[in-house]
Amino acid sequence: MYKRILLAYDGSVSGQRALLDCQDLAQWAQSELTLVAVMPLNMDVMGMGVGVYDPHLMERDKAVMQTVLNEGIAQLAAAGHQATGEVLVGETVDEITKYARKIAADLIVVGHKHLDSWAARWWRGSISKALIEHAPCSVLVAITQ
């Protein structure tokens, strides 16, 4: 069944819902749990489409994401699960699918919040929808309203 579960975790309400669903599945299937948090490559835009990489900003943001990831791992540990985690840098869907292949995941769990307006849905897009299209394994989308 689902022996290796990868949870894309960001600490949001929908991420918390995904963590709870992931926890239930892991207990049922006695799965290995891995959490990943994906942060975009930060570039300061200087104008005319020119960006500058800021390593200090990147390290600060990575430390924040690592804290969020550690909190998710601690929640799982409190429920009796062992989990590992890693902060990834890059385009969210690409990084999650690449990592799922790397660990031979059987299931990817991701949270999703319904966006209220059509403009928000158009502008932001849907990571969960894109993930379903590109994932190398099954995807569970935990929905929050």
Q: Which residues pair with 110 in a beta bridge?
A: 8, 141
State residue 60 phi and psi, 5-degree precision: -65, -45
Rounded to two decimals, the pTM is 0.82
Q: What is the dihedral of CA 11, 13, 14, 18, to 10 degrees?
A: 60
- What DSSP designation does 42 have? P
Structural domains of the chain ordered from first start:
4-144 (3.40.50.620)
pLDDT in tens, the chain (145 residues): 889 999 998 888 788 888 887 888 888 878 899 999 998 876 555 555 555 667 788 888 889 999 999 999 999 999 899 999 999 999 999 999 999 999 999 999 998 765 555 544 444 567 888 899 999 999 998 887 6
